[in-house]
Amino acid sequence: MSFSMIGTQRSGSNLLRLMLNQIDGIAAPHPPHILQRFMPLLPKYGDLNQIDTFRLLVDDVCRLVELNPVPWEGVTLDRDDVANRCKEPSLVAVYFAIYDILAETWGAKRWCCKSLANVFYLPEINRYRPESKFIYLHRDGRDVALSFQKAVVGEKHIYHIAQAWAKAQRLALKMRNTLSAEQFYSISYEGLVADPEANLKGLCEFMEVKYSPDMLNFHQSNEATNAASSSSLWGNVTKPIMKQNTQKFLTQATDEEIMIFELVAGDVLDALGYERFKISADSQGAFCQGAIEQFETINKTLKQEKRQQMDPEDLKRRDRQASIIQEVKSRQLVKV
Position 336 pLDDT exceeds 60: no
Quick: pLDDT tens for 164-204.
Answer: 999 999 999 999 999 999 999 999 999 999 999 999 999 99
- Dist CA 260 CA 67 (whole Å): 38
Residues, the chain, total? 336
Query: Who's near 13: CB < 8 A, 6+ residues apart?
Result: 5, 7, 114, 116, 137
Which residue in 91, 83, 74, 88 sits closest to 37, CA to CA? 91
Q: How far is CA 120 from CA 25, 82, 222, 336, in A?
A: 27, 24, 31, 29
User: Is the pTM here over 0.75, yes or no?
Assistant: yes
Q: Which of 107-121, 224-238, 301-315, 317-331 has the highest mean pLDDT?
A: 107-121
Percent of the chain with pLDDT over 90: 81
190-211 as b/e: b if 16+ CB within 10 A: bebbeebeebbeebbebbebeb
CATH 3.10.580.10 fits 2-324, yes or no: no
Position 334 pLDDT exceeds 90: no
- The chain-wide mean pLDDT, for the chain, equals 93
Question: How does DSSP classify residue 189?
Answer: H
Pairing mode of beta strands 110-113, 26-27? parallel
Position 335 pLDDT exceeds 70: no
204 φ/ψ sector (left φ>0, alpha ψ -120 to 50, else beta): alpha
Res 231: pLDDT: 60
Across 13-26, average pLDDT = 94
Res 237: pLDDT: 84
Greater pLDDT, 228 or 110: 110
The answer to whether 187 and 114 have CB atoms below 8 angstroms apart is no
Question: DSSP string spanning 112-173?
Answer: EE--GGGGGGHHHHHHH-TT-EEEEEE--HHHHHHHHHHSSSS--SHHHHHHHHHHHHHHHH
Res 233: pLDDT: 61
Helix (H) or strand (E) holding 303: helix 289-308
Which residue in 141, 99, 135, 93 sits closest to 118, CA to CA? 135
Res 161: pLDDT: 97
Question: Vertex 289, ends 8 and 305: CA angle to 5°?
Answer: 55
Res 97: pLDDT: 98
Res 30: pLDDT: 93
The answer to whether 264 and 159 have CB atoms below 8 angstroms apart is yes
Radius of gyration of the chain (CA): 20
Quick: pLDDT tens for 129-161.
Answer: 999 999 999 999 999 999 999 888 899 999 999
Greater pLDDT, 70 or 290: 290
Quick: pLDDT tens for 206-244.
Answer: 999 999 999 999 999 888 888 777 665 666 788 889 888
